[in-house]
């Protein structure tokens, strides 16, 4: 049954794309039908994932073309089902949201291709996480990359969008080349031409260690580019803001998670068992991405760029969980390995939910104000009275405030890091302690970042006409966001359902079932794997916080029984309140710019114009920016080197067909000699 549901979902996605193309004369109707079919298709794929995760069953879909010359193998197991659930859930909400958001483009640009590409994009992601063959995987991986490239440059008249798109496609193809190299090394030890993942699972443990190490680094760079790990992150804060917000919801929410899927397949299946130092490398990559991602997010004034850098930070948190799980597994601490992997996978779906909600909020802001610069906003809480609380829920969730879902997964991450004391190696213990401190600092910076994002955007007075005349968005947009906000609350208060599903994934990957240690609940306590550290649940933390609030309020009332509330105008040194007197995002983050000046390398430029020289100031111009150190010291030299090499080999391109045929002939001779040996 599950395989039929999955096939139906694929057919509906493709039908939605075709409807968008065919109804060219009725763009509004075609767009609506296309997105409705995408939402229905997502429901079918959600049903597929739920059935397979609840039963633990596995589905195989195998078919051939041209008498088995080309074989297409797909496998839907517990790992694939979990990622299908994440992708389809966000796709469903994003499709509903898109019905309202795409009204921005009706009669302004051709939305046929947006609907077609959007449906094809969703199909490609589902095929990526179900492909069971290296050739098939690379085909659908490239399909996902190319389709998302066209979605990024949808508003192609903007030069910045075109630059973002080409940066993305170049980096993505570098990653694809590295992944193809990893697959070829694996293939060299299989001995068949099937390129099947089942063969990779069979021979992975017997590969010589030198080749396993090479594949390890190829994979961490190849998938790391798609995940946006530092310093391979360049495309992500450029592409996400360029894409339409409904596309950004899916790209940031689930597309970059396909890289996490690749990590899990390689490190826990194809290359297992892994040496401990592999896990340490992955752990350090995750920790550095987490802290650097949020530090750069703090400096951003473009709300979508801020959210893009935040996605780098959250992917870093997920990778920390994967690295810890690899370390624990290498020392045969299987229960702790399962706990760490559960932390990473729980944060994966949590991030998919609250980051999609945040990008939806950013899309609402852009829809209402036509600007993404938070310095030009302010006062939106009175003009967008539904969007504001929904955005606040997402901001609290990403800041790991109980009882919302972000708290659960980050608490699991801390539990896993603290249990690093069970690892025999003293060096690795020290590394886990340092990473724990990094995660703690990251959590504080995340809260600061989203205080800025919400406070500067929604509170105080409107700073510009954009914000002053803002109105609430169409109902379908905030209804879809309400579904995500509800998930943030539900997954925080009742995490057992998600953890049981993840346990099914972990049982397949690690061969250990810890469900009995995860489902012993009462209303206020959540039991985890037995540790020496405190047990805590989001429900108990929320109740404890409410009790403290009630006690504090009661104490203040008793101390001052004659308390009377009085309202006064804001004191502004005798002047009437004006928007330019408000706190700005730049001022809010200036202390952090000073503290982390070695990283930011800030540049300030102040120029003053006087009406009377040296006495009466007419205007002051202030420019402050952060130096792009990765672009300047890493990507700059690399791009110059590539251009120099390209210039030197231009003589190869003569434009003569005879020369090109000679190249082909020589290549064939070399291949014949190579195969003959």
Residue 514 has a pLDDT of: 81
- Over pLDDT 90: what percentage of the chain? 55
Number of C-beta neighbours around residue 259 at 10 A:
24
Six-digit token string for 324: 């810890």
Confidence of residue 496 (pLDDT cuts 50, 70, 90): confident
103 Cβ neighbours under 8 A, 6+ residues apart: 474
Query: Nearest CA to 417 among 507, 533, 511, 500?
Result: 533
pLDDT beyond 60 at 534: no
Q: Are 221 and 214 in contact (CB under 8 A)?
A: no
CA pair distance 442, 316, nearest whole angstrom: 10
pLDDT beyond 60 at 66: no
DSSP symbol at 577: P
609-629 residues labelled b (16+ CB within 10 A) or e (exposed): eeeeeeeeeeeeeeeeebeee
Domain boundaries along the sequence of the chain: 276-522, 579-625, 634-676
Q: Are 276 and 428 in contact (CB under 8 A)?
A: yes
CA pair distance 579, 461, nearest whole angstrom: 6
Residue 535 has a pLDDT of: 58
Q: Could you report the per-residue pLDDT of 163-201, keeping only the tens digit for each?
A: 999 999 999 999 999 999 999 898 888 766 667 888 888
- Write the CA distances from 142 to 115, 135, 200, 252, 256, integer angstroms: 19, 11, 21, 18, 14
Six-digit token string for 347: 């944060």
Q: Are 17 and 119 in contact (CB under 8 A)?
A: yes
Residue 583 has a pLDDT of: 81
pLDDT beyond 60 at 453: yes
pLDDT beyond 90 at 546: no
Helix crossing, 475-493 with 405-418: angle to 10°?
Answer: 40
Of 304-308, 536-540, 614-618, the one with minimum mean pLDDT is: 536-540
Confidence of residue 521 (pLDDT cuts 50, 70, 90): very low
Residue 408 has a pLDDT of: 87
Q: Could you report the per-residue pLDDT of 574-619, keeping only the tens digit for each?
A: 777 777 778 888 888 888 888 888 888 887 777 777 776 766 777 7
Residue found by looking up tokens 């082909």 in the block: 664
Confidence of residue 524 (pLDDT cuts 50, 70, 90): very low
Q: Output 358 or 2, whichever has higher pLDDT.
A: 358
Where do the DSSP E strands lie in 416-502?
none
Six-digit token string for 437: 């401190």
Confidence of residue 630 (pLDDT cuts 50, 70, 90): confident
Phi, psi of 363, rounded to the nearest 5 degrees: -65, -40
Residue 531 has a pLDDT of: 47
Q: Are 290 and 317 in contact (CB under 8 A)?
A: yes
Residue 196 has a pLDDT of: 81
Give the β-pairing of 603-612 and 70-76. unpaired
Helices (H), 243-384: 245-250, 257-265, 276-298, 303-330, 334-369, 380-383
CA pair distance 649, 669, nearest whole angstrom: 22
Highest mean pLDDT among 141-145, 374-378, 615-619: 141-145
What is 83-130 written as a DSSP string? HHHHHHHHHHHHHHHHHHHGGGTTTTS--HHHHHHHHHHHHHHHHHTT
Residue 541 has a pLDDT of: 66
Confidence of residue 528 (pLDDT cuts 50, 70, 90): very low
Six-digit token string for 196: 């099947």
Helix (H), strand (E) at residue 396: helix 387-398
Q: Are 424 and 328 in contact (CB under 8 A)?
A: no
Query: Nearest CA to 417 among 363, 345, 315, 336?
Result: 336
Q: Could you report the per-residue pLDDT of 659-671, keeping only the tens digit for each?
A: 888 888 888 888 7
Q: Dihedral of the CA atoms 96, 491, 449, 584 (nearest 10)?
A: 50
Within the chain, how many helices (H) and strands (E) appear?
A: 27, 4
CA pair distance 635, 629, nearest whole angstrom: 9
Residue 335 has a pLDDT of: 87
Query: Nearest CA to 318 among 434, 223, 184?
Result: 223
Helix (H), strand (E) at residue 64: strand 59-65
Q: Output 403 or 181, whichever has higher pLDDT.
A: 181
Number of C-beta neighbours around residue 139 at 10 A:
17
pLDDT beyond 60 at 462: yes
Six-digit token string for 644: 């120099």
Q: Are 323 and 282 in contact (CB under 8 A)?
A: yes
Query: Nearest CA to 158 among 226, 237, 239, 97?
Result: 239
Six-digit token string for 406: 């972000």
DSSP symbol at 632: I
Residue 536 has a pLDDT of: 57
Of 11-20, 212-221, 495-504, the one with minimum mean pLDDT is: 495-504
């Amino acid at each position: 049954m599950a395989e039929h549901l999955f096939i139906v979902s694929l057919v509906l996605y493709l039908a939605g794309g075709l409807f968008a193309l065919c109804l060219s004369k009725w763009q509004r109707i075609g767009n609506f039908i296309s997105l409705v079919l995408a939402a229905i298709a997502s429901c079918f794929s959600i049903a597929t994932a739920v059935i397979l995760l609840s039963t633990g069953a596995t589905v195989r879909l195998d078919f051939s073309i041209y008498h088995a010359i080309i074989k297409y193998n797909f496998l839907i197991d517990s790992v694939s089902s979990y990622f299908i659930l994440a992708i389809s859930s966000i796709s469903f909400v994003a499709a509903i949201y898109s019905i309202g958001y795409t009204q921005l483009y009706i009669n302004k640009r051709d939305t046929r291709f947006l609907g077609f590409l959007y449906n094809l994009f969703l199909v490609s992601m589902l095929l990526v996480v179900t492909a069971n063959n290296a050739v098939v995987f690379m085909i659908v991986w490239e399909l996902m990359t190319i389709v998302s490239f066209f979605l990024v440059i949808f508003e192609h008249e903007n030069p910045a969008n075109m630059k973002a798109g080409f940066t993305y496609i170049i980096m993505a193809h570098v990653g694809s080349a590295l992944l193809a190299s990893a697959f070829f090394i694996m293939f060299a030890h299989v001995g068949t031409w099937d390129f099947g993942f089942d063969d990779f699972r069979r021979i992975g443990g017997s590969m010589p260690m030198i080749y396993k190490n090479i594949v390890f680094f190829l994979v961490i760079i190849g998938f790391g580019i798609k995940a946006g790990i530092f310093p391979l992150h360049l495309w992500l804060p450029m592409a996400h803001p360029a894409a339409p917000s409904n596309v950004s919801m899916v790209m940031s929410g689930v597309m970059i998670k396909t890289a996490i899927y690749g990590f899990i397949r390689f490190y826990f299946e194809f290359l297992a068992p892994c040496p401990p130092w592999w896990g340490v490398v992955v752990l350090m990559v995750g920790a550095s991405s987490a802290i650097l991602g949020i530090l750069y997010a703090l400096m951003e004034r473009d709300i979508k760029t801020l959210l893009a850098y935040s996605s780098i930070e959250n992917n870093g948190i997920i990778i920390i969980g994967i690295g810890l799980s690899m370390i624990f597994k290498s020392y045969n601490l299987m229960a702790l390995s399962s706990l760490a992997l559960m932390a990473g996978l729980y944060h994966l779906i949590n991030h998919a939910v609250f980051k999609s909600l945040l990008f939806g909020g950013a899309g609402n802001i852009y829809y209402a104000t036509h600007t993404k610069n938070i310095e030009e906003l302010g006062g939106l809480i009175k003009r967008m009275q539904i969007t504001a609380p929904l955005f606040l829920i997402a901001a609290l969730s990403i800041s790991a405030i109980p009882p919302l879902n972000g708290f659960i997964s980050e608490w699991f991450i801390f539990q896993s890091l603290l249990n690093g004391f069970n690892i025999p190696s003293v060096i690795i213990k020290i590394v886990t302690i340092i990473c724990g401190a990094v995660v703690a600092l990251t959590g504080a910076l995340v809260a600061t970042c989203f205080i800025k994002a919400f406070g500067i955007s929604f509170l105080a007075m409107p700073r510009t006409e954009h914000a002053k005349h803002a109105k609430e968005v169409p109902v379908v947009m905030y209804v879809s966001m309400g579904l995500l906000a509800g998930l943030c609350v539900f997954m925080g208060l009742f995490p057992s359902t998600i953890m049981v599903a993840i346990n099914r994934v972990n049982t397949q990957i690690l061969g250990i079932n810890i469900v009995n240690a995860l489902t012993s609940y009462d209303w206020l306590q959540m039991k985890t794997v037995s540790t020496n550290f405190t047990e805590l649940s989001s429900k108990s933390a929320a109740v404890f916080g409410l009790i403290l609030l009630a006690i504090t309020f009661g104490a203040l009332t008793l101390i001052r029984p004659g308390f009377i509330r009085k309202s006064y105008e804001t004191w502004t040194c005798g002047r009437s309140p004006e928007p330019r007197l408000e706190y700005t995002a730049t001022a809010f983050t200036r202390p952090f710019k000073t503290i982390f000046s070695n990283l930011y390398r800030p540049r300030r430029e102040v120029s003053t114009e006087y009406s009377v020289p040296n006495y009466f100031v007419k205007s002051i111009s202030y420019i402050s920016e952060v130096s792009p150190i990765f672009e300047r010291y890493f990507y700059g030299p690399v791009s110059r080197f590539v251009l120099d090499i390209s210039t030197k080999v231009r003589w190869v391109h003569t434009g003569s067909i005879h020369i090109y045929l000679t190249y082909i002939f020589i290549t064939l001779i070399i291949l014949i000699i190579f195969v003959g040996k």
